[in-house]
Structure 1
């Protein structure tokens, strides 16, 4: 299908994709799907049903300024006149625009995922986007009762447990008498990615609103969405750690190694190790690979009485209770320390140096291997009744959660380790 740019200024590019549908979809981009050539937000899903679409794509993080949107409106009047039904669709910044401009664009339905009410710091407590607010560009930008069309049906999807998005919803909800709300718990601001499904988008555009039906479809989509399980894991762990075990045992996940960022991967593995015996299948589902099968060794205790280990899952120094090591000794290896020298761990009678760089990336090297220029071995220093671990001139301590931090240039009580 042919596409053409029908409007462009410094803030917005509008692209028309002519299809065979009787419905025109106004698809608003967001911070991620900003204008790139002739690409349109949700284009793949919309094209599957041959919708006629105008992609209203932001070129900047400027939240669809009113002056630019009036320019879009004037430019597409001949196209709007061809259709009896117009549906606005967007998420986050795009969800805001779909609601804000439904009235002048004479939309019949708006589908807004996790929309904002405003990004003006004087109007919202949420500070995620307030750096993009410009008083001149975004003057009087909040969604107001005057923006709401009585001839338009509004659907908002959001996570009621996510405080930042809930604030915006609570400010929008009183303004729209005919608002339909669908909850997507424990997904945070990722509802757009979780519900990126062409059949569901088609229902949102065409099907008369039926809450029971839509929740059935949402549940079906969630079961097949890796984004959903990533969001659930990220938002529930810490308070509901049993949820991870249930997900791992009942859901057929097969994630790649880059699916979780390093911080979330470390949190997940710590919870796994502290709450259950870790097995290979669990780790494979999470896309976590094991480099080396380490063996159990002797113990060095931190200031909380936990054992200092090298974690082969996270490739980091950490500390754990002895009972955790007893059932997970394959993955968390206590350091063997007898005297001052380089920090090492042993693997099947092979000694490995523990090395780190200035970005705090930790790696193991065989003693006869060449070290890359950015890597330096960690040094163990024996003091009077204690040991310390140093990287260059900075000493390590472990916090109460078992995370090891190189922060102090002197050895205090927190930087002292003892042998059990």
Structure 2
């Protein structure tokens, strides 16, 4: 028998996927893995291990309203009746549902990754999800003693350092009578992506609870998870900058160029270059490709004493201390002024102009090249004792941390002076 829908209403779509296991898995979707055709949450992994599965997929961001779940149970009672061993699995919104309806579905084990206790602002303040609370559909939705039982095993995986999920966990801890906890530090709310592994999921569903065994398996999965390293880097960046270089040196990563968003990539590059932690090979591990430029000679200085440069890795105009520019002069190209004109740099013995569009995306063009649609050169304006870099009506302004942005004003931080010529 093929997969097919066995119940559906305005909030959920329930799909039956037959297998050959003795256990029946209730797999709950989340905000991302919502109802789409006959797709089931964690379908590939569950199918690989031959599980019989009831896939309960949300059609709305409605946290599996109780009226829908009770209507579903009435409809599918005959289908699930033969199965005495029942296990619930889900993450976030799906983890909430697996716990909330564990008594209703007679689950022996529940595996919940970063679950919620409630999204009702009267129960808990969680700005991520309070907006989705609907009094009509989610009335009295918090997980209560009558929803759970000491006869059932509850396994919760979460990041204890992530404040929002920790607050939800503490509420769950107070109501769950037989809670087993596995910590996944520095992953935020991305446990589902970090722990994506069919073998690990199979262990969560079938192996007797053994923290040492699960932590060993989780470490193996994390070491091969790009999502884990991204979350780890995001968390380390503000607090433990010197650890970032060690992550790159000690792990064979090979990320694609779109793995980090633009803001995180720029902050990551700034931290690594400022601390001289990486070489070209390490940056390639992060999916950061670039051409090495020729050394330059002089630069403009901002009002904080930082040198103005074009960063060929991030493709941005930035400011760095002289020591950082000296250490990383092959990546950080000083910008110099000869009077009124265009912002130019020397790269591989070629002169380039720096152009930008209205989304503040910068790009280099050789002098003889045609500009792409929407791109405009950045202009240097010379005044009696300072320079201004302008894009249309906007002026480049620096902050004390080396950040630069174009603003619709002319503050003191938008005035640059010329540094005496220095050979690097």
Q: What's the TM-score once normalised by structure 2's chain length?
A: 0.97
Query: 2 CA distance for matches of 1:297 and 1:193?
Result: 46
For residues 81-121 of structure 1, the C-alpha deviation after alignment (integer angstroms, 9 at most, x for no partner) is: 11111000000110011111111000000000001111122
Contact 2:25–2:54 (CA under 8 A) maintained in structure 1: yes
> What is aligned with 1:225?
225
1:360 to 2:360 alignment:
yes
How big is the shift at 1:252?
0.9
Contact 1:158–1:165 (CA under 8 A) maintained in structure 2: yes
- The Cα RMSD (Å) is 1.2
Output aligned runs, 1:96-111, within 5 Å. 96-111=96-111
How big is the shift at 1:277?
4.8
Query: 2 CA distance for matches of 1:143 and 1:246?
Result: 42
Bigger shift: residues 271-280 or 170-179: 271-280
1:397 to 2:397 alignment:
yes
* Counterparts in 2 of 1:250 and 1:9: CA distance versus 1, 3 Å: same
Contact 2:294–2:349 (CA under 8 A) maintained in structure 1: no
Q: Gapped runs of 5+ residues in structure 1? A: none
For residues 130-184 of structure 1, the C-alpha deviation after alignment (integer angstroms, 9 at most, x for no partner) is: 2212111111111122211222100000000011111110111110121000000
Query: 2 CA distance for matches of 1:102 and 1:204?
Result: 16
Output aligned runs, 1:187-336, within 5 Å. 187-291=187-291, 293-336=293-336
How big is the shift at 1:380?
0.8
Is the partner of 1:56 in helix, strand or coil?
strand
1:33 to 2:45 alignment:
no
> What is aligned with 1:77?
77
Query: 1 CA distance for matches of 2:290 and 2:122?
Result: 49
Query: 1 CA distance for matches of 2:12 and 2:246?
Result: 45
Output aligned runs, 1:109-124, within 5 Å. 109-124=109-124
> What is aligned with 1:415?
414
Query: 2 CA distance for matches of 1:143 and 1:375?
Result: 55
Output aligned runs, 1:11-90, within 5 Å. 11-90=11-90
Q: What's the TM-score once normalised by structure 1's chain length?
A: 0.97
Contact 1:153–1:178 (CA under 8 A) maintained in structure 2: yes
Q: Gapped runs of 5+ residues in structure 2? A: 420-424
Query: 1 CA distance for matches of 2:228 and 2:418?
Result: 44
Query: 1 CA distance for matches of 2:277 and 2:122?
Result: 50
Is the partner of 2:37 in helix, strand or coil?
coil
Query: 2 CA distance for matches of 1:262 and 1:131?
Result: 28
Q: Write out the 4+ residue segments of structure 1 that deviate beyond 6 Å after TM superposition.
A: none
Contact 2:292–2:330 (CA under 8 A) maintained in structure 1: no
Contact 2:272–2:278 (CA under 8 A) maintained in structure 1: yes
How big is the shift at 1:123?
2.3
Is the partner of 1:397 in helix, strand or coil?
strand
Contact 1:277–1:327 (CA under 8 A) maintained in structure 2: no
